[in-house]
Structure 1
Amino acid sequence: MKALCWHGKTDVRYDTVPDPTIEHPRDAIVKVSSCAICGSDLHLYDHVIPTMEAGDILGHEFMGEVVEVGAENKSLKVGDRIVVPFTITCGECDQCRRGNFSACERSNRNKSLADKAFGHSGAGLFGYSHLTGGYAGGQAEYARVPFADSTHVKVPDNLTDEQVLFLGDIFPTGWQGVVQCDIQPTDTVVIWGAGPVGQFCVRSAVLLGAQQIIMIDNVPERLSMARAGGAITIDFDNESVLERLNDLTDGKGPEKCIDAVGMEAHATRSLDSMYDRVKQAMMLETDRAHVLREMIYVCRPGGVLSIPGVYAGLADKIPIGALMNKGLTVRSGQTHVKRWTDDLLRRIEGGQIDPSFVITHSMGLDQGPEMYKTFRNKQDGCVKVILKP
């Protein structure tokens, strides 16, 4: 079969690879109908996530038709149409029973490696390095789904791929990022990063009843999409974030702040951003934490910081004194996808939201290597890419 494979920094290739096979009785094999390039994939593309190996199949947003099931898999049958969550979940461990699916205790087959890196391992993830299990991803014609009797979302035939594909990651990620804020009707919610997750944060904050939603970015097309969703926008290249937020909150600061950027903040004019880039170049720091620092500084005392953006390692100069003295609450984590998908699917079916709004490019899988470049460099108005094998 054909698949998109990682071969090094900024080197993604459309390769011929062996077809996947059933390896465990709970497995399923899916014929992929649609997949997507996620902002998190760009961390792999830029090679800032460790333990990638040449030839690894990429991709953790995918869906399709079940074409084979293992003998112990009683939840799926051949012909079922499913979205595959990016977090692989056994459905039986203590964390899965608590609904903490991204902390599944059994699905990371390289658990000992992740334990050393993080203290305790999280779930296995598709196409996202050997630190998270080394599982082949879904940017391919076929994919093996481990623990498939738990790791799936069945979707109806009357909804298009474009409407339901993002149930596997960016829609529940944006939703969880907002739910973690405990939205109140009088809240101002500020979102850093108008990429796909940030766009779903805007729509989620609208659905959950925030009074005022503010988006911070510097890409015109992305800011325009956020405005269309109901946000006030701040272009950090041309405006002072601090001054605008003070104006919009009567000098009190926002109650809720969401980091939808993560470890590769691209601000370049601030002193802390320059500091991060120097330390990163000297291999003294892995994550550029400009957004996190700015959130801590501007957030109203007693407020909440939500971090759906991905961080991988170490960041320097975190203003822990401001965090503590202002009494801020921090909530973060990989997304517990299946905790949210029943509700979100009902909202799609009920017409409350059509997730396809975020798609700007739909291409064949063979165009994937070029689309990685386009997405990474924010060219051609690119916000979200879906690929069709």
Structure 2
Amino acid sequence: RIPDTVSDEQALFVGDVLATGFWATRISEITKDDTVLIIGAGPTGICTLLCVMLKKPQRIIVCEKSPERIQFVREHYPDVLVVEPENCKDFVIQNSEHGGADVVLEVAGSEDTFRLAWECARPNAIVTIVALYDEPQILPLPDMYGKNLIFKTGGVDGCDCAEILNLIEEGRIDTTPLITHRFPLNEIEEAYRIFENKLDGVIKVAIY
């Protein structure tokens, strides 16, 4: 049940992308000493970021290629470091104490980002796969020799929704900045056109 003090917009992503980010953060075993890398700053990536921020790790790095999404992260979460994919590995090594990220959360979902995730991880790191892939991914074990990585993945369910709603009620999670566009139901086709074609800086659309 949505608490009376939580608006519909505040609760809108609880059962989907926010629950995914919360689950991924929970299984990643993040500590306050960690450098955490999040690959992908789409809606699921931002929800993952919000949940990682609750753990207060030493450092959070977000890897993203879209200029609009990079600007969004810098505007709303100025303490988070942002880097583009082509510079990500070197940047993570320079901004971590152990030769790479202690925890990597892969939210982008491409062949390149899957490889980037384990390449940016330090030896004995945790790599959590949040993304869904169109094709099977390959673990090139000879290239990974000596990394001793722990991979975590799985399917998210709604078991954390009550806890997430409590965090929203307490003001500790706010996903409303993700809603960049709002449309009435009779303009649903225009809403889909903007969302599908990624126009006008759209991230999420709310329909009333």
Question: In structure 2, which of residues 188, 193, 205 is the aligned counterpart of residue 368 of structure 1?
Answer: 188
Is the contact made by 1:199 and 1:225 (CA closer than 8 Å) also made in structure 2? Answer: no
Q: SS at 1:222's partner residue? A: helix
Unaligned runs of 5+ in 2: none
Question: Normalized against structure 2, the TM-score is what?
Answer: 0.89
Alpha-carbon spacing, 1:156–1:307, altered in 2? closer, same or farther (3 Å): same
Q: SS at 1:209's partner residue? A: coil
* Residues 140-155 of structure 1 mapped to structure 2, 5 A cutoff: 154-155=1-2
Q: What is the distance in 2 between the residues matched to 1:159 and 1:309?
A: 28
Q: SS at 2:207's partner residue? A: strand
* Residues 149-228 of structure 1 mapped to structure 2, 5 A cutoff: 154-227=1-74, 228=76
Amino acid aligned to 2:11: V
Which range moved further: 154-163 or 164-173? 154-163
Q: SS at 1:255's partner residue? A: strand
Q: SS at 1:261's partner residue? A: coil
Post-superposition shift, 1:250? Answer: 4.9
Match of 1:295 in 2: 117
Is the contact made by 1:308 and 1:335 (CA closer than 8 Å) also made in structure 2? Answer: no
Amino acid aligned to 2:55: L
Match of 2:82 in 1: 233
Q: Deviations over 1:213-265 (max 9, x none)?
A: 111112223223323234210123xx522221121125711011111112xx3
Amino acid aligned to 1:235: E
Question: Normalized against structure 1, the TM-score is what?
Answer: 0.50
Q: What is the distance in 2 between the residues matched to 1:204 and 1:299?
A: 20
Match of 2:170 in 1: 350
Q: SS at 1:361's partner residue? A: strand
Q: What is the distance in 2 between the residues matched to 1:224 and 1:368?
A: 27
Is the contact made by 2:5 and 2:169 (CA closer than 8 Å) also made in structure 1? Answer: no
Alpha-carbon spacing, 1:320–1:377, altered in 2? closer, same or farther (3 Å): farther
Is the contact made by 1:296 and 1:322 (CA closer than 8 Å) also made in structure 2? Answer: no
Alpha-carbon spacing, 1:373–1:248, altered in 2? closer, same or farther (3 Å): farther
Post-superposition shift, 1:311? Answer: 2.5
Amino acid aligned to 1:292: F
Structure with more relative contact order (C-alpha pairs < 8 Å, separation 6 or more): 2
* Residues 188-337 of structure 1 mapped to structure 2, 5 A cutoff: 188-227=35-74, 228-229=76-77, 230-236=79-85, 240-250=87-97, 252-262=99-109, 265=110, 289-315=111-137, 317-323=138-144, 325-337=146-158
Tell me which structure has the larger Cα radius of gyration: 1
Q: What is the distance in 1 between the residues matched to 2:178 and 2:193?
A: 18
Amino acid aligned to 2:141: I
Q: Deviations over 1:90-114 (max 9, x none)?
A: xxxxxxxxxxxxxxxxxxxxxxxxx
Alpha-carbon spacing, 1:178–1:155, altered in 2? closer, same or farther (3 Å): same
Alpha-carbon spacing, 1:240–1:251, altered in 2? closer, same or farther (3 Å): farther
Is the contact made by 2:127 and 2:149 (CA closer than 8 Å) also made in structure 1? Answer: yes
Is the contact made by 2:89 and 2:119 (CA closer than 8 Å) also made in structure 1? Answer: no
Post-superposition shift, 1:355? Answer: 2.1
* Residues 369-384 of structure 1 mapped to structure 2, 5 A cutoff: 369-384=189-204
Write 1 or 2 for the structure with the bigger share of helix. 2
Post-superposition shift, 1:293? Answer: 0.8
